Amino acid sequence: MATVAQSLLFQCLLTLSFAAAAATAAARRTYIVHMSHHEKPSLFPTHHDWYLSRLLSLPSSSSSSTSSPNLLYSYSAAYPGFAASLDPSQAASLRRSPAVLGVYEDAVYSLHTTRTPEFLGLSAELSAHDPNPDPSSADVVIGVLDTGVWPESRSFDDSGMPDVPARWRGQCESGPDFDPRLCNKKLIGARSFSKGYHMASGGSFLKDPKETDSPRDQEGHGTHTASTAAGSRVANASLLGYASGTARGMATRARVASYKVCWRNGCFGSDILAGMDQAILDGVDVLSLSLGGGSAPYYRDTIAIGSFAAVERGIFVSCSAGNAGPARATLANVAPWIMTVGAGTLDRDFPAYAVLGNKNRFTGVSLYSGPGMGKKLVGLVYDKGSDGSGNLCLPGSLQPALVRGKVVVCDRGTNARVEKGSVVRAAGGVGMILANTAASGEELVADSHLLPAVAVGRKVGDLIREYASSNLNPTATIGFGGTVLGVQPSPVVAAFSSRGPNLVTPQILKPDVIGPGVNILAAWSGAVGPTGLEKDTRKTQFNIMSGTSMSCPHISGLAALLKAAHPNWSPSAIKSALMTTSYTHDNTNSSLRDAAGGTYSTPWAHGSGHVDPEKALSPGLVYDISTDDYVAFLCSLDYTIDQVRAVAKRPNVTCSRKFADPGQLNYPSFSVLFGSKRIVRYTRQLTNVGAAGSVYAVTVMGPPAVEVTVKPPKLVFAKVGDRRSYTVTFVSKKGMNQTVRSDFGSIVWSNAQNEVRSPVAYAWTQIG
């Protein structure tokens, strides 16, 4: 066994290593190193000491005698390995080591940027079951990995909260602008992780006066997501008068722990993994990540790896699906142990109007709160400019002589919506009509613009563009209508919400669900205006934002409520409950629609449907999945044993058990691929969490090109906790004129009390 002196020696060497690295940081890059965790020699008291020894044995770069490798993070709970700053030759040297299973360059992830509880049916935090509300929900801790937190926000008021659970191991860190005493019984943890960002920024981080090494939120995004998940009730909340009412999170009694892993230029994988590692060790019950990158194999996906470790410890993980819709196959965070959340609209709107000189009046949306334009018409201009960029209102693209004193039509896309308004104002324009193109369809997202502005859909946008381009003297004015409730239809799938199919594992249907993600009111940072622009000097305690970043914490908060109500449920049981009870019809009793084109949505856009927390509390049956099942799933993906171990962090993985098809995982939804085979057969197992003596019958809906058989057609559960299996056979019929390459259906188990619904996506990779 190593002596205390040896351990102290390692620490001294670490200090020297950090000092030597400072001068050459810019010449190196951050790598995440996957180690064979169980091969640590007994000489080293900890894995940290072993990792440090491996780094110190590496040669210095030939270009600099001082470029010693720099250990940034030693991971323990989330990943078997460490992050280090290395030059390419040192990374190559590590790859040749037998104890090193992989060396991967750090990746950059991005953020997926009060009416909600009533819209979801949370009249009093599941009041029918929780009239007090149940103080047990105060034992649930939601860890939010984001841009930090604004602790002074009233959404983190701890009035009436009981003492912090004794099991909690987290803390609030101090910083130049963050006093740990700002934390309380509601906000019980606040940490920051910036070493990966430090290395990538080459020292510019330290020169940015707006970037401080502390948990404080300078961007607003993290405060918004944290308060959406578990914010306390705040009366008379609004954004400059819009959406006025009581703001509250989904789980008002749950605790919040903030892990700042995102900075002005992005979220680095090494920092995210460090945040997840610490959150697991601190003892969170739910992890909420409103960020992501592109698709990658699970053993290369930082969030997937960290999430597996969390789920293995009973932690529910909710992640945003991404904002790359409506293009197909644009999803992020698709690992089956993650709840992948898309975005839908609320039944609340903020109407605004564009009135044209030809007497036409068009309705759009806006959150502009300054002086209005009045009824007097002014000139209207749609300027494509000599380089075709004026129509997008990019910085520097507008000619002041052309737009001064006029309303400017700007096409949506390329740059931020609020930046377009800033560009118009800087060029002398007095108003803006933000017109959608085909990419955004009829989706309307309201913004707190710096000048009078209205956002309109593509069809209206085309009419306005035609009028502005063809009329000799086009004129317009803009008016505003405040806040309107009871909008129909709702919910509608947001056009920006990323879509399936799942490119990493096509046999797993993603996204899982949608939740409220358009025009969401929640707490905001005092360091930045509501638009986030430097020119925006306004300050507000609340802001309205849109994105799957907003829908994700809704589901995180709902998971906390279910965890409190059912403390013995696994993360997969909670996930199943939220999925199988989701609804697929809007408030007009029509099938969910897609904002991108106004057509009906599909499970590739909305997954199982829109969450219904009241029904999720008593789902009747759940599809449970163990971590051993997830390992068998990984083994079915033709990964090497080392690649499986990178995710599962188990030294004894042999893949002796694996599925013949990844779709055999006991998932609450189905994705059926017809390739060279016309027959696909899956077996699922349901667990009774409802009443003893429950009997369920199956109903199948599907396209005419597929014959679906379920055996047995009836399931009987004598006791609570009983498990029953069924097998479903999908047959692509011969002779059918299969002109489409995809279609959808459902399998529903129901009785008088419950309906357990699973969507089915079909894809034909070979036609015939």
- C-alpha to C-alpha distance for 116 and 249, rounded to whole angstroms: 9
- Looking only at the bridges linking them, the beta strands covering 475-480 and 484-485 are unpaired
136: pLDDT strictly greater than 90? no
Delineate the domains of the chain, giving CATH numbers in brackets. 26-105 (3.30.70), 117-343+490-617 (3.40.50.200), 351-480 (3.50.30.30), 626-662 (no CATH), 666-767 (2.60.40.2310)
Contact, 72 vs 277, CB < 8 A?
no
Contact, 692 vs 732, CB < 8 A?
no
- pLDDT: is 581 or 416 the higher one? 581
Look over the chain and give the mean of its residue pLDDT values, rounded to a whole number: 90
- In degrees, rounded to 5, the angle at the alpha carbon of residue 348 between the alpha carbons of residues 577 and 248 is 60
276: pLDDT strictly greater than 90? yes
321: pLDDT strictly greater than 80? yes
Q: Which two tokens stand for residue 456?
A: 């309109």
Q: Is 549 a catalytic residue?
A: yes
Give the per-residue pLDDT at 205: 52
Give the per-residue pLDDT at 527: 93
- C-alpha to C-alpha distance for 590 and 715, rounded to whole angstroms: 30
Inter-axis angle of helices 47-56 and 4-21, to 10 degrees? Answer: 50
10: pLDDT strictly greater than 70? no
Contacts 24+ apart (CB under 8 A), 468-475: 468/380, 468/381, 468/382, 468/409, 469/382, 471/357, 471/358, 473/357, 473/379, 474/356, 474/357, 474/379, 474/380, 474/381, 475/356, 475/357, 475/377, 475/378, 475/379, 475/380
- Say which of 137, 194, 546, 549 is annotated catalytic: 549
Give the per-residue pLDDT at 603: 98
pLDDT in tens, 184-201: 999 999 999 999 998 887
What is the Cα Rg of the chain in Å?
Answer: 27
pLDDT in tens, 419-447: 999 999 999 999 999 999 988 888 888 99
> HEC string of 703-763?
CCCEEEEEECCEEEECCCCCEEEEEEEEEECCCCCCCCCEEEEEEEEECCCCEEEEEEEEE
Among 26-35, 120-129, 221-230, 383-392, top mean pLDDT goes to 221-230
Give the per-residue pLDDT at 123: 54
Strand ordering across the sheet containing 81-86? 70-74, 81-86, 29-35, 100-105
- Lowest model confidence (mean pLDDT) among 91-105, 115-129, 292-306, 322-336: 115-129
Instruction: Count Cβ atoms within 10 A of the Cβ of residue 189 and give its class: 0-12 exposed, 13-18 middle, 19 or more buried.
Output: buried
What is the average per-residue pLDDT within 285-304?
A: 94
233: pLDDT strictly greater than 70? yes
- Lowest model confidence (mean pLDDT) among 119-128, 383-392, 751-760: 119-128
- C-alpha to C-alpha distance for 748 and 124, rounded to whole angstroms: 30
- Say which of 139, 146, 411, 624 is annotated catalytic: 146
- Say which of 221, 449, 606, 610 is annotated catalytic: 221
- Within 10 angstroms of residue 597's Cβ, the number of other Cβ atoms is 15
243: pLDDT strictly greater than 70? yes
User: How many residues does this entry show for the chain?
Assistant: 768
Q: Which two tokens stand for residue 255?
A: 């605790």
Contact, 253 vs 124, CB < 8 A?
no
Q: Is 221 a catalytic residue?
A: yes
Residues 6+ apart with CB under 8 A from 254: 137, 138, 140, 141, 142, 229, 230, 286, 557, 560, 561, 564
- In degrees, rounded to 5, the angle at the alpha carbon of residue 89 between the alpha carbons of residues 83 and 90 is 35
- Lowest model confidence (mean pLDDT) among 256-265, 503-512, 526-535: 526-535
- Lowest model confidence (mean pLDDT) among 115-119, 621-625, 646-650, 692-696: 115-119
Q: Is 636 a catalytic residue?
A: no
Read off the DSSP letter of residue 318: E
Contact, 579 vs 509, CB < 8 A?
no
Sign of CA dihedral 630, 687, 510, 276: negative
Contact, 500 vs 363, CB < 8 A?
no
SS3 243: strand
Contact, 326 vs 499, CB < 8 A?
yes
- Rounded to the nearest 10°, the torsion over CA 96, 101, 103, 107 is 170
Residues 6+ apart with CB under 8 A from 671: 501, 502, 506, 507, 508, 509, 663, 760, 761, 763
**pTM of the predicted model, to two decimals?**
0.92
